[in-house]
Structure 1
């Protein structure tokens, strides 16, 4: 029986008491400078670009606050910088009146904070000591801080709740044009250039800040307390080493206007080939290379490399440096060990240039291997004409606050959104070429990314004609249609036959086949082959696909479609296109069911006992905890083996079975899997349910299922039988915000459906389709969770589902590129679904999912494809402790189910990689006792260096540790903000597979002319030597010494940040051969 959701009155205490420290760190740890200098630290020389004299007086408006200060905000882990300069405001650009910036501790270079008591004393009668001591604080940074400026027309901003919240002027984020004096605003400044000019370049080249303080003894005591707190942060997270060792002194070079122009002026790159030029521009944009060194770099490249491809290889290798100190030394050193041609990629990947546009910079790196799409495959010989552009903050995704929207409404020509408009309207200049926007797929739009093309290389009109005729007059839908060909897919090698269309099954305004149709058996098999499927997955029951202007899911029905046939429905066809290539996104395959925080909150509110959740959670903790210990003791359980197989594609179980369970790298991989699984339990309440599955949904084409029935037949692998679920079940879909989003159904067996495995078949009978009741879902690729554990099913009370009918959208006569550009801007401005989810979860904890505020949030979340608005009054002032707010909000200790589960996982899981030095270089005698050939070692060293160099770049790019790349498991890391952890699995796996393929090919080429007197195969001989270079003390220490000497010769960057030493994964490029060695009798 369906029950209408009750209305719950708010509790007498509206907000739980906050337990967070409400003290103001910025006021407590604030220091007033005598002078501040900004510039660049390269080696032992500080090149001072700007030297400013700030006002030191107390700010009259705020007791205890200075007009200029450097403050340590330990609660938020930020440096707060304020400098009210002595110059009149009329002579200063907006971003410098005053300097108002925040620098995340994450963005400080390794050992980047130096605090130097110079010993100089200055007489001062106001000091209790009669004098002040001089202290110089220097901070080296990896990325610019977030700059702010006063909003030009704050009087136009709407009031909040009828009154202004503060008598301070509103501020907004500063952008590049705010550093320039003049009347040109950000939006109207023309194309964005890769290398900024004049004062706009300050944020890029101010990679070091230097403050001079005159402090009392008491102030020095406070500063020493700050040093102690910074050391404590490093102890808690060894990756964050902020304090420099000792008190290094630097030479200071002050630049006059002429010297500044020579060193930081716009370089002349005329005549430099596009691929090379973009890499040079990227080095400058990252702050690795000074513009004044580009001419020398170009000459050194021509001297050390003939082919352009090798020049590019050298330039790509330079992205691992923090700063380039001496171009003339580092280029020849890199050229000596790098391979002349780039490694071959995987078949489904293409090299794409990605550009990040931040409020103050344009950041590029080397072309990256990314999954291909229809457009990149069509123009695979013109990839220089395609860019993937992403709009981000300096170290994070672009978060839009209320004041951002208000400022943009009043002044759309200034601020961060104006910078987005500037790029979309005027384009960006990369490598001397102008790129303009085309389209963005739905998933890319969520990442605030969009594709740009160079119309000189790719004709934009011809591209649009090739894609198809998009006639949609709803701008958001038109944008989504245009983005379809840019979705990551793999092409299916099959000449398909487009069969007779099928009608959609519709009733009462609901479509029961929305996004789903049928195809033949051969289509399924070829799609699986395109995705390199193995075993059971070579014959899937359904695929998610793209075909010209159509998208959705195709399920296999032999009686309805011929082997090579695809039959579409109207609900799948988004626009007309002549393209007939079938592109597959993914296959239907078995996945175990997991609960999440939303499911748990709704289920417990709907009657499922909290104790059942606690018991299930405790079972999961016990199952996961101690994985590494059990592996090392050779006491693995079936659950351990299953966990490893579920989490990682790396052959970890095979290596453990072969006896490598004590190896440092194997221990690290086990530790990572255990850590990530426990982190998922703690921070996501991701609890595995054995009596449940998570599968893609399809429609019952046979019409045999009655209303409220589903069919679910699952098969885990080739070695287990297929199982048909029967009886009462729970069905749900993420996200689930409304109490009616978790529903009951009856799983039945039907002979007509037994050919379908690892899918959930929904009935096409009744008044309303079940997927629509589950958070407004459909069948164009949605996954659903089915649970048949009767402890859950029997205790769940089912409530009336929400009405997910969307309001009528606004249409226009004809959609132009201008409309699409502004739609992209508005998407970013209104990208608040994540905020709605979090607010709903917090208010559900404070009140209940049935509370009117939570129901209102469910309604806001359901307005798909239109601008959602989150009213300020709905936002909680305090947050439950399980929501991981990193100290940014006040929190309280939740007493509801999610708070109880959160605190069951203690302490917070962390991963620390093994150090082979500390472990005493442990080796496996089954391998280490085999002979070594010095000649082969020397041949393999350049290959090892190239492998570790590539791995180091991935570590920097994704902010991961070495073992995370082979495992494909990214542990929760608050330092990694721009990319979601769960989205890193595939990029890490692809990157590692490329490194392995390249390294194996190069290693075998190195030994092809050598004959060994041994029973080992050449591959096994190479594996044995790779093992020596990775683990055996004699060879590792010699290798490390060679690297140290090479680093001194190159005068490169921050070695500690680039990678831990020594690295431990090289040997496992030949894992099969190592297993073979220990499993054969060689005597």
Structure 2
């Protein structure tokens, strides 16, 4: 399309009517079918703009070609808003594209669910039907109407409120907004008649919620929601089968939470969604609707990149902030208003900050966000903003409440420390002990079939891991390294516990292992073995059972294993067959896009401390559960049966220990696993010594024992023949204030994290330089990136950013990283070889049909019995 066209944003309000909110003339349009993106270029108020829409964010395209008219209209229904770029000066007289927010009056782009291109009738168009399933043409006339903005908010759009005189419950209003934002109902169609119908004063709330849910799940946009609601309510009035709340209640530890996703130009209400509970939500169960999970995402709902907030095209722009940065910052500062609720910033957990998410709370009489923070603990002694924010977030970690432990049942025991020169190392960093009696009580509360050997916990202001000590008479033995802040809370909350967890190779580990001498053939064999097993599980019930047992865990996996044990055939029983196909497809996609290769001779384990002081430096203790008979036969000389449980096996021999993510060759430790009878009570944990010149966890990417998980592998072919000294990671100095930290500073720290959260950029750069540099991961650039990575990992707790210098930025990528918009080259490394082999397999893997209601009816009767 070389012609300049007219572009309109708005909403389709009927089959042949389009309500226009914003219009732009002289627009150049480009369909790039190679990278599957649509671009618009134009100038508005002397500023050049570029709109970018991914094909995946286009719902359907319809071409209106009325006869005997000079123009035709291409109507594109959008799932998401376009990415907006503005041309800005970067340095001197050079210009570059910088991300922007909605610049139109009343944020009309964010209030639009479609765009309409006015085209000359003789203009030739691409063959849309080849790329868009929902493309069609018709000869009808499309009427263009002048529309009006309908959002009650001028910044976060589209958000609607009922007119004066209507008092809708929060949950109903939330659903209405969600319908508009997701394109289920046009915003202009929500009028007074609609609000009257959804007013609980005139209609039962169960009817309203059911009808709104049906609107949300319609396959097409509903242009007449009032008519549909009337029909639904009429059906309810004459039917004996009335709508009711779902019969399935949530399991213990789960809650329904409303969520809001904020993009640079739009807002989406989601849920309520099922979330793991946390200490705060459990303490305020009656206020669950006053909590809001808010995520800041890009237009495609993926994680927003730092460059969207702070362009880095040159040093002149290094500290420049875009309006997207200001949008996030102002949302945190000003909150979100939904009906009569105003949600204010509360805090964020460690996992949330990595996902650019926060918790907000709508204050009510007697309870504010500040009150909740005060209940959580006393943080006044913390004078570093980042640490303050991290400590606030500890109460929001997903957890299960198990037992109440009074203060007199807790002891504080000393840490195990050693001083080497200027450095002081803590061997017991983040770990304590739990008595056998309390561990049994906690395991029962968690529903564990056996008592775990270690628990990751929160207790008052303490956080870390407690390992079972059968000799301890004290319920909890905590250490100073576990203390984070002052709190009087005596409830023991469990975040995780030791159990079987399969291990997988990933690109970082493969790069380091390869650099340390592991041959390419070994990785290729492991990938081939994994794929062969995934293929065989579709027909062989024994292989299927073992694959499920060793590669995965969870309720669905348990059900499938029970079906196989009961002699259901994987290639004959429809539900089992399709679920196994889905499992296989998921694992193949992990291999294809993440080089995630299953390692049978390995585990992922929580780290623990040898409290008996038996292990020497260079040794570990390793006892594993769920050990397959096949592996046991292959490695019988390295394993012995546990004295505490005949189903557990103790490994003796060389073992690899690393913690993901790992970038430095010295992060991979090869240690000697030994049999220590006094430690036979510890299962599915890697036990480290408290002796030596330096803690082994500290040698592994400067990790600790506060809940970090370790990749542990005893596959002889994967043990690297070369060794590399672990590096000394020097912690970056933190800035201390001479006053109390303010909540506004915590909000700003969160926004700065999005800019300075360079983990993914550093990891990607390391992969590239390890692929191209002659010394690979041992090159100066990779070692420099490993140091930066250590700083970046600690940024949420220190506030010290990892600044990436220009010479470590990447301009060309290997083919296995699949970046079609960048310069790429064919990689000859092991990652390139694995990628191309997996790509071939994935391309020749046909998609399987879904287990639908129609298929269920075909194979089963109404009681769930198989039809003969």
TM-score interval w.r.t. the shorter chain?
Answer: 0.7 to 0.9
State the distance in 2 between where 1:98 and 1:792 align.
Answer: 54
Of the candidates 285, 288, 293, which is equivalent to residue 190 of structure 2? 293
Q: Could you tell me how far apart the structure 2 residues matched to 1:256 and 1:355 are?
A: 26
1:914-955 superposed Cα distances (whole Å, 9 cap, x missing partner): 55xxxxxxxxxxxxxxxxxxxxxxxxxxxxxxxxxxxxxxxx
**Contact 2:58/2:76 (<8 A) preserved:** yes
CA distance in structure 2 between the aligned counterparts of 1:876 and 1:294, rounded to whole angstroms: 52
Judged with a 3 Å threshold, the aligned counterparts in structure 2 of structure 1 residues 842 and 251 are, in CA distance, closer, same or farther, namely: same
Q: Which runs of 5+ in 1 are unaligned?
A: 1-29, 56-67, 91-96, 123-133, 181-198, 234-240, 916-960, 964-1026, 1034-1063, 1079-1083
Q: Of residues 837, 848, 858 in structure 2, which corresponds to 1:904? A: 837
The answer on whether the counterparts of 1:555 and 1:698 sit within 8 Å (CA) in structure 2 is: yes
Q: 1:768 aligns with which of 674, 677, 694?
A: 694
Is residue 892 of structure 1 aligned with residue 802 of structure 2?
no
Q: Say which SS state the counterpart of residue 463 (structure 1) adopts.
A: helix
Confirm or deny that 1:252 pairs with 2:143: yes
Once the 2 structures are TM-superposed, how far is the Cα of residue 775 of structure 1 from its aligned partner?
0.8
1:42/1:910 Cα in 2 relative to 1: closer, same or farther (>3 Å)? farther
Deviations 1:592-636 (A, max 9, x none): 3322111111011111222222222222222223433x25xx685
Q: Structure 1 675/338 Cα, relative in aligned 2: closer, same or farther at 3 Å?
A: farther
Mapped partners of 2:861, 2:284: distance in 1 = 36
SS at match of 1:568: strand
Greater relative CO (CA pairs within 8 A, separation 6+): 1
Q: 1:272 Cα shift?
A: 2.0
Per the TM alignment, residue 637 of structure 1 is displaced from its structure 2 partner at its CA by 5.9
- Cross-structure match for 2:634: none
CA distance in 2, matches of 1:309, 1:776: 54
1:308 aligns with 2:233: no
1:598 counterpart = 2:513 = no
Q: Give the match for residue 145 of structure 1.
A: 82
Write the distance in 2 (CA, Å) between the matches of 1:260 and 1:806.
Answer: 48
1:259 CA drift (Å): 11
Task: Say whether residues 1:854 and 2:782 are aligned partners.
Answer: yes
Matched, 1:268 2:181: no
Partner Cα separation in structure 1 for residue 713 and residue 28 of structure 2: 57
Deviations 1:327-380 (A, max 9, x none): 223224445376233443222211211111111122112322211111111110
1:352 aligns with 2:257: yes
What residue in structure 2 maps to residue 72 of structure 1?
A: 31
Change (3 A) 1:901 1:781: same
Query: Deviations along 1:392-443, whole A, 9 cap, x unmatched?
Result: 112121111187256987665x511100111111111112321110110100
SS in structure 2 at match of 1:543: strand
| Residues 231-287 of structure 1 deviation map (CA, whole Å, 9 limit, x = unaligned) | 1x4xxxxxxx444134363541412669999x9997526522222222223333334
Q: CA RMSD in A?
A: 3.1
Is the contact made by 2:551 and 2:598 (CA closer than 8 Å) also made in structure 1? no
Instruction: Report Cα offsets for 1:792-818 as digits up to 9, x if no partner.
Output: 33x421111111121211111221011
Deviations, residues 727-747 of structure 1 (Å, cap 9, x unaligned)? 222211111100111111111
Choose from 357, 363, 368 the match for 1:455: 363
Alpha-carbon distance change, 889 to 304 in structure 1, aligned in 2, over 3 angstroms: farther
Residue aligned with 2:264, SS:
coil
2:170 paired with 1:277: no
How far has the Cα of 1:98 moved from its partner? 4.9
3-state SS of paired residue (1:649): helix
Aligned to 2:55: 105
Q: Is the 8 A contact 2:623 2:684 kept in 1?
A: yes
Distance 1:325 1:402 in 2: 35
Residue 298 (structure 1) shift: 2.1
Match of 2:19 in 1: 48
| Residue 413 of structure 2 corresponds to residue 505 of structure 1 | no
Q: How does 1:604-615 map to 2 (within 5 A)?
A: 604-615=514-525
Compute the displacement of 1:897 (Å): 0.9
Higher helix fraction (1 or 2): 1
For these two proteins, the number of residue pairs brought into alignment is 813
Q: Give the Cα–Cα distance (whole angstroms) in 2 for the partners of residues 323 and 825 of structure 1.
A: 36
Q: Which residue of 2 aligns with 1:194?
A: none
Correspondence list, 1:264-663, <5 A: 267-268=162-163, 270-289=166-185, 290-302=187-199, 306-321=203-218, 322-335=220-233, 336=236, 339-343=243-247, 344-395=249-300, 396-401=302-307, 404-405=310-311, 412=321, 415-456=323-364, 458-470=367-379, 471-495=381-405, 498-508=409-419, 509-534=424-449, 538-562=450-474, 565-628=475-538, 630=539, 636=543, 639-640=546-547, 642=549, 646=553, 648-649=556-557, 651-656=559-564, 657-659=567-569, 661-663=571-573
Shift, 1:308, TM fit: 3.3
In the alignment, does 2:117 pair up with 1:167?
no
Query: Structure 1 stretch 475-484 or stretch 601-610: which is displaced more?
Result: 601-610
- Give CA deviations for 1:556-591 in whole Å, capped at 9, x if unaligned: 0021344xx111111111001000101111110122
- Call closer, same or farther: CA 1:284–1:373 in 2, change over 3 Å: same
Does residue 214 (structure 1) correspond to residue 120 (structure 2)? The answer is yes
TM-score (norm 1): 0.70
C-alpha contact 2:113 2:183 (8 A) present in aligned 1: yes
DSSP 3-state at the match of 2:222:
coil
Q: What is aligned with 1:810?
A: 735
Equivalent of residue 684 in structure 1, options 594, 598, 601: 594
Counterpart contact for 2:344–2:369, Cα < 8 Å: no
> 1:661 deviation in Å?
3.7
